[in-house]
């Protein structure tokens, strides 16, 4: 009996999974972003969730965009909770409320308009629902495998730029922030909470860069200042093809932690909101980052913990992740 094209591709993929034979695919857009290094399948599992074409696209590009994954109702609930937190009606233990470097210096901005990011919302049952949505976890499992930890949570409220270009997020690799490996078993889910476009500062990614290594990150020397913890890579290839991820409300992109990405300035008067979670396989293990390019961020995180908790207890970089991580599927085998 003749096999459908997708089924034939599946047979090939299963074979490749076992043999580690080289595959290559191209990005499905006007730009040809395929890279001409043959590689073995290594970034995805065969779970019957991703189509063979989607699987090949992630292998090649390091990201995949799924349209309409999160409902309008859920997004509206997350937005409401964000407003309650900004107004001070809800207090969440451990939540980090961040302000834009240029807005923080102004005395006159209050509430929602002053907050650029909520980080570590694992103790907020309403926002943390995002990390447990079954339709998200189905995809996450394609990259992590069945034991899944939600490690890092953020609601980003990119403000209208004040003219100092501080609403930009420098190009970076998320692995810089993580003392756990292997990188291929980590994935970020990032969901647009409204239309995101080049005008309001959508994500920008450099396809294929997930196949590279972790680069050195530092604070960029921007004239207008730079937000706390917004480290960037100085020496990436500026002529590498870029993809601007323009997305609708509820669309979700899944991307690899070595993928070089950032986001542009918000040139509108509205706040550009997105909610995200970094997941890792619970089978990952911690690594010591002393003496590596990650030492700068580990020291900064440890210093922040001292300021928040007090200097009588020492929270190491690794502890800070072990404390925040939450099991969302399967068994907590290692992390
Ligand atoms: O949402 C954005 O503008 C960028 C977020 C991001 O890349 C990050 O926080 O690592």
Q: Is the CB of 261 under 6 A from ligand 1?
A: yes
From CA 53, how far away is CA 56, in angstroms rounded?
A: 5
Q: Is the CB of 205 under 6 A from ligand 1?
A: no
Residue 34's pLDDT is what? 39
Q: Whose CA is nearest to atom 10 of ligand 1?
A: 174
Query: For a pocket test of ligand 1, which of 158, 161, 169 has the largest count of ligand atoms closer than 8 A to its C-beta?
Result: 169
Distance of CA 202 from the midpoint of ligand 1 (Å): 9
Q: Which residues pair with 281 in a beta bridge?
A: 148
Query: For a pocket test of ligand 1, which of 154, 227, 244 has the largest count of ligand atoms closer than 8 A to its C-beta?
Result: 154
pLDDT band of residue 19 (cuts 50, 70, 90) is very low
Q: Percent of the chain, pLDDT > 70?
A: 84
Q: Is the CB of 215 under 6 A from ligand 1?
A: no
Q: Whose CA is nearest to atom 7 of ligand 1?
A: 262
Residue 201's pLDDT is what? 96
Q: Are 68 and 248 in contact (CB under 8 A)?
A: yes
How many CA atoms are closer than 13 Å to the CA of 238, on its beta-carbon side?
3
Q: Is the CB of 152 under 6 A from ligand 1?
A: no
From CA 198, how far away is CA 301, in angstroms rounded?
A: 31
Closest CA to 272 of 159, 162, 165: 159
Q: Is the CB of 174 under 6 A from ligand 1?
A: yes
Distance of CA 210 from the midpoint of ligand 1 (Å): 16
From CA 213, how far away is CA 206, in angstroms rounded?
A: 14
Residue 120's pLDDT is what? 96
pLDDT band of residue 74 (cuts 50, 70, 90) is very high
Domain ranges of the chain: 41-329
User: In the predicted model, is pLDDT for residue 20 greater than 50?
Assistant: no
As a whole number, mean pLDDT of residues 186-208 equals 97
Give all strands (DSSP E) within 106-185, no chain letters.
115-119, 148-158, 169-172, 180-181
From CA 210, how far away is CA 182, in angstroms rounded?
A: 13
User: In the predicted model, is pLDDT for residue 215 greater than 90?
Assistant: yes
As a whole number, mean pLDDT of residues 296-306 equals 90
Structure tokens at 293: 């390019």
Structure tokens at 148: 């899944």
Ligand 1 atom closest to Cα of residue 263:
3
Mode of pairing for the β-strands spanning 180-181 and 217-218: unpaired
Q: Which residues pair with 324 in a beta bridge?
A: none
For 314, the 3-state DSSP assignment is coil
Q: Are 174 and 188 in contact (CB under 8 A)?
A: yes
Ligand 1 atom closest to Cα of residue 274:
1
What's the sign of the alpha-carbon dihedral 242, 243, 246, 249?
negative
Q: Which residues pair with 203 in a beta bridge?
A: 245, 263
Using one digit for the tens of pLDDT, what is the confidence trace for 229-283? Answer: 888 998 899 999 999 999 999 999 999 999 999 999 999 999 999 999 999 999 9
Q: Which residues of 118-146 are buried (b: 16+ CB within 10 A; e: fewer)?
A: bbbbbebebbbebbebeebbbbbbbbbbe
Residue 114's pLDDT is what? 74
Q: Is the CB of 227 under 6 A from ligand 1?
A: no
Distance of CA 87 from the midpoint of ligand 1 (Å): 23
From CA 280, how far away is CA 278, in angstroms rounded?
A: 7
CA-angle at 335, arms to 20 and 141, nearest 5°: 50
Topology of domain 41-329, CATH: Jelly Rolls (2.60.120)
Structure-model confidence comparison of residues 41 and 19, the more confident one: 41
């Amino acid at each position: 009996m003749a096999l459908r094209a997708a089924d034939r591709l599946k047979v090939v993929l299963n074979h490749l999974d076992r043999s580690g034979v080289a595959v290559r695919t191209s990005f499905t857009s006007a730009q040809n972003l395929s890279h001409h290094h043959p590689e073995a399948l290594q970034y995805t599992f065969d779970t019957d969730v991703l189509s063979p074409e989607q699987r090949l696209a992630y292998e090649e590009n390091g990201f995949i965009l799924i349209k309409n994954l999160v409902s309008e109702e859920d997004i509206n609930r997350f937005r409401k909770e964000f407003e309650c937190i900004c107004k001070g009606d809800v207090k969440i233990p451990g939540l980090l409320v961040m302000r834009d470097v240029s807005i923080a210096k102004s005395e006159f901005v209050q509430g929602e308009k002053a907050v650029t990011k909520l980080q570590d919302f694992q103790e907020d049952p309403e926002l943390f629902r995002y990390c447990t949505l079954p339709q998200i976890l189905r995809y996450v499992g394609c990259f992590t495998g069945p034991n899944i930890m939600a490690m890092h949570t953020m609601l980003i409220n990119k403000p209208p730029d004040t003219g100092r270009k501080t609403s930009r997020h420098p190009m970076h690799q998320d692995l810089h922030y993580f003392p756990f490996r292997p990188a291929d078993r980590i994935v970020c889910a990032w969901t647009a909470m409204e239309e995101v476009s080049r005008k309001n500062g959508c994500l920008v990614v450099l396809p294929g860069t997930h196949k590279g290594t972790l680069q050195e990150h530092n604070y960029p020397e921007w004239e207008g200042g730079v937000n706390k913890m917004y480290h960037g890579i100085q020496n990436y290839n500026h002529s590498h093809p870029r993809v601007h991820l323009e997305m609708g409300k509820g669309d979700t992109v899944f991307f690899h932690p070595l993928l070089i990405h950032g986001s542009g300035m918000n040139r509108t008067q509205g706040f550009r909101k997105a909610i995200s979670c970094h997941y890792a396989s619970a089978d990952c293990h911690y690594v010591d980052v002393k003496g590596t390019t990650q030492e700068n961020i580990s020291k900064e995180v440890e210093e922040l913990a001292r300021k928040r908790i007090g200097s009588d207890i020492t929270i190491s970089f690794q502890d800070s992740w072990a404390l925040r991580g939450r099991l969302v599927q399967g068994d907590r085998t290692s992390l």
